[in-house]
Amino acid sequence: MSTQTKVLVTGAGGFIGSHLVTYLKERGYWVRGVDIKHPEFAESNADEFQILDLRDKENCMTATAGIDEVYALAADMGGMGFISAHHAQILYNNALINFHTLEAARQNKVKRYLYTSSACIYPEYLQTSENVTPLKEEDAYPAQPQDAYGWEKLMSEKLCEHYREDYGIETRIVRFHNIFGPLGTWEGGREKAPAAMCRKVATAKLESTNEVEIWGDGHQTRSFCYIDDCVVGLYKIMRSDYHKPLNLGQDRLISINELADMAAETAGINIVKKHIPGPQGVRGRNSDNNLLREVLNWEPEISLEEGFAITYKWIEEQVEEKLKTNTLV
């Protein structure tokens, strides 16, 4: 009988999930990927890929059968354009996915379970300034997430905590801070700011215009973490013995205007920024990485410039392809 550890990645058809599957395969795991869709941009490296809707409990039982460890990434999610406009859908879908996946994992005697939460769980009242104080894990309470997306994440974090205490399943909780990279959503309304800036600048470049639209005044700030650091961090957290929530992100604060300038510099063009109304989310958000460093003796190390250059190149290729076929939305 094989002693190879069997891992389930939910959301394996998505951005982080597809990269994580590749990383786990490289480390010798047997991997089952589950999603409602196949990865959009590259074939999955999973040993087995099941198309299942994880809002359904029976499907969650199928997905977790025979599995030792689960990385729970499946979610109905996106950037500010999406999460500010679909509160009911997000809360309903994600609560069903997470409650059913964790309960099925318990019934199928899964040993370890990593849940992917978000910086969106942090209270709005701590994120009102561009020069925001980096958010520590303990800042989560008293809770006041801005959107339903954050409330659901907070509730599923609690569910993990209680399943660990009451049923002994080893749970891990990761709070991502805006992850970006190739093979991520870059158009269609669910894209986040890094991909949106790359798409808009690449389109301006390829269409020989120079105007780039930015939601708000562009002085709002965030930190951005490259995908390769994200999957390393996920793996380290899963293997650690730390069960409380941990930030996983970069702690370099940058404004959206600066991000657009970085895209323009990477593209080698001059742009004119046009500030337009749009969903802005919190005014500023940054990750406090002290606890992450203490627990893992590691933190994300790929510079924004390095990750952004790779991402820009990939998105420019996608835009070019769509322009050729006149299918850019």
Residues identified as active-site: 149
Tokens standing for residue 313? 């190149």
Q: What is the 3-state secondary structure (H, E, C) of 44-79?
A: CCCCEEEECCCCCHHHHHHHHCCCCEEEECCCCCCC
Q: Which residue is nearest to ligand NAD (CB)?
A: 14
| Residue 31 to residue 228: CA distance in whole angstroms | 18
Binding site residues, ligand GDD, CB under 6 A: 77, 79-81, 83, 118-120, 149, 176-178, 191-193, 196, 214-216, 220, 222, 256, 278-281
Query: Which residue in the block uniquely carries the two structure tokens 């389109």?
Result: 203
For 70, residues 6+ apart whose C-beta sits below 8 A from its C-beta are: 7, 8, 9, 10, 64, 101, 105, 110, 112, 113, 114
Tell me the C-alpha distance between 323 and 320, whole Å. Answer: 5
**CB-facing half-sphere around the CA of 215: CA atoms within 13 A:** 15
Burial bucket for residue 234 (CB in 10 Å: 0-12, 13-18, 19+): buried
Please choose which of ligand NAD, ligand GDD, none residue 329 contacts, taking the beta carbon within 5 to 8 angstroms, the exact cut-off set by kind.
Answer: none
Mark residues 90-119: x for contact with ligand NAD by CB under 6 A, - for none: ---x---x------------------x-x-
| 178 near ligand NAD (CB under 6 A) | yes
Nearer to ligand NAD, 14 or 182 (CB): 14
Stretch near ligand NAD under the rule CB under 6 A, chosen from 67-75, 134-142, 200-208, 273-281: 67-75
Under 8 Å between Cβ of 35 and 17: yes
Residue 74 binds ligand NAD, judged by CB under 6 A: yes
Stretch that binds ligand NAD, among 6-14, 139-147, 154-162, 202-210 (CB under 6 A): 6-14
CB contact set of 96 (below 8 Å; sequence gap of 6+): 54, 55, 56
Among 73, 135, 169, 304, binds ligand NAD (CB under 6 A): 73
Minimal distance, residue 29 CB to ligand NAD, in Å: 18
Q: Is 296 in the site for ligand NAD (CB under 6 A)?
A: no
Q: What is the longest distance spanned by two Cα atoms in the chain?
A: 62
Report if residue 13 touches ligand NAD, rule: CB under 6 A: yes
Q: Which of 24, 77, 104, 204 binds ligand NAD (CB under 6 A)?
A: 77
Judged by CB under 6 A, the stretch of 51-59, 201-209, 268-276, 305-313 that binds ligand NAD is: 51-59
54 binds ligand NAD (CB under 6 A): yes
